[in-house]
Amino acid sequence: MAMMTGKEYVESLRAMKLRVYMFGKRVENPVDDPILRPSVNSVRMTYDLAQGPNYKALMTATSHLTGETINRFTHIHQSTEDLVNKVKMQRLLGQVTAACFQRCVGMDAINAVYSTTYEIDQKHGTSYHENFRKFVAEAQTKDWTIDGAMTDPKGDRSLPPHKQEDPDMFLHVVERRPDGIVVRGAKAHQTGMCNSHQVLVMPTQAMGPDDKDYAVSFSAPADAEGLFMIVGRQSCDTRKLENTDIDVGNAQYGGVELLVVFDDVFIPNENIYLNGETEFATMMVERFAGYHRQSYGGCKVGVGDVLIGASAVAADYNGVAKASHVKDKLIEMIHLNETMYSCGIACSAEGTKTASGNYLIDLLLANVCKQNVTRFPYEMARIAEDLAGGSVGTCLSEADLRGEFTGPWVAKYMKNGTGTTAENRMRILRLIENLSLGSGAVGYRTESLHGAGSPQAQRVMIARQGDIEGKKKLAKRIAHVKED
Contact 224, 16 (CB under 8 A): no
Give me the DSSP letters along 334-377.
Answer: HHHHHHHHHHHHHHHHT-EE-TTS-EE--HHHHHHHHHHHTTHH
Residue 9 has pLDDT above 90, yes or no: yes
Does pTM top 0.85 for this prediction?
yes
Confidence of residue 262 (pLDDT cuts 50, 70, 90): very high
**CATH class for domain 283-468?**
mainly alpha
Q: Determine the pLDDT at residue 446.
A: 81
Cα–Cα distance, 102 to 97 (Å, whole number): 11
Residue 443 has pLDDT above 90, yes or no: no
Q: Determine the pLDDT at residue 440.
A: 61
At residue 329, the 3 state secondary structure works out as helix
Give strand pairing partners of 149. Answer: 201
Confidence of residue 404 (pLDDT cuts 50, 70, 90): very high
Which conformational region is residue 124 in: left (phi greater than 0), alpha (psi within -120 to 50 degrees), or beta?
alpha
Asked which of 271-280, 283-292, 437-446 is least confident by mean pLDDT, the reply is 437-446
Q: Determine the pLDDT at residue 2.
A: 78
pLDDT in tens, 225-234: 999 999 999 8
Cα–Cα distance, 336 to 314 (Å, whole number): 19
Q: Please provide the average confidence, as pLDDT, over all residues in the chain.
A: 96
CATH 1.20.140.10 boundaries in the chain: 283-468
- CB-based burial label for 135 (10 Å; 0-12, 13-18, 19+): buried
CATH number of 7-278: 2.40.110.10
CATH 2.40.110.10 boundaries in the chain: 7-278
Residue 206 has pLDDT above 70, yes or no: yes
Q: What is the rounded (10 degree) CA torsion for 64, 296, 370, 113?
A: -30
Cα–Cα distance, 141 to 451 (Å, whole number): 29
Task: Tally helices (H) and strands (E) across the chain.
Answer: 17, 14
Cβ count within 10 A of residue 335: 11
At residue 75, the 3 state secondary structure works out as coil
Cβ count within 10 A of residue 192: 25
Closest CA to 198 of 182, 218, 170, 215: 218
Confidence of residue 438 (pLDDT cuts 50, 70, 90): low
Q: Between the CA of residue 14 and those of 31, 170, 222, 251, 445, what are the distances in Å?
A: 7, 31, 12, 21, 31
Catalytic residues: 100, 104, 191, 257, 292, 296, 299, 447
For residues 70-107, b (16+ Cβ closer than 10 Å) or e, as one string? bbbbbbbbbebebbbbbbbbbbbbbbbbbbbbbbbbbb
Cα–Cα distance, 159 to 250 (Å, whole number): 41
Is 191 annotated as a binding-site member? yes
Cα–Cα distance, 202 to 291 (Å, whole number): 14
Cα–Cα distance, 89 to 348 (Å, whole number): 13
Residue 329 has pLDDT above 70, yes or no: yes
Q: Determine the pLDDT at residue 439.
A: 59
Confidence of residue 128 (pLDDT cuts 50, 70, 90): very high
Work out the end-to-end distance of the chain between its first and last CA atoms, rounded to an integer number of angstroms. Answer: 68
Contact 426, 394 (CB under 8 A): no
Residue 441 has pLDDT above 90, yes or no: no
Average pLDDT over residues 403-408: 98
At residue 260, the 3 state secondary structure works out as strand
Confidence of residue 367 (pLDDT cuts 50, 70, 90): very high
Instruction: Please provide residue 364's backbone torsions phi and psi, each rounded to the nearest 5 degrees.
Output: -60, -50
Closest CA to 132 of 150, 151, 119, 123: 119
Closest CA to 129 of 76, 176, 168, 93: 76
Give strand pairing partners of 181. Answer: 176, 267
Give me the DSSP letters along 29-70.
Answer: -TTT-TTTHHHHHHHHHHHHTTTSSTTHHHHEEE-TTT--EE
Q: Determine the pLDDT at residue 418.
A: 85
Q: Determine the pLDDT at residue 417.
A: 79
Residue 1 has pLDDT above 80, yes or no: no
Cα–Cα distance, 321 to 64 (Å, whole number): 50
Strands 198-201, 146-149: parallel, antiparallel or unpaired by DSSP? parallel
Q: Determine the pLDDT at residue 219.
A: 98
Asked which of 84-98, 328-342, 432-446 is least confident by mean pLDDT, the reply is 432-446
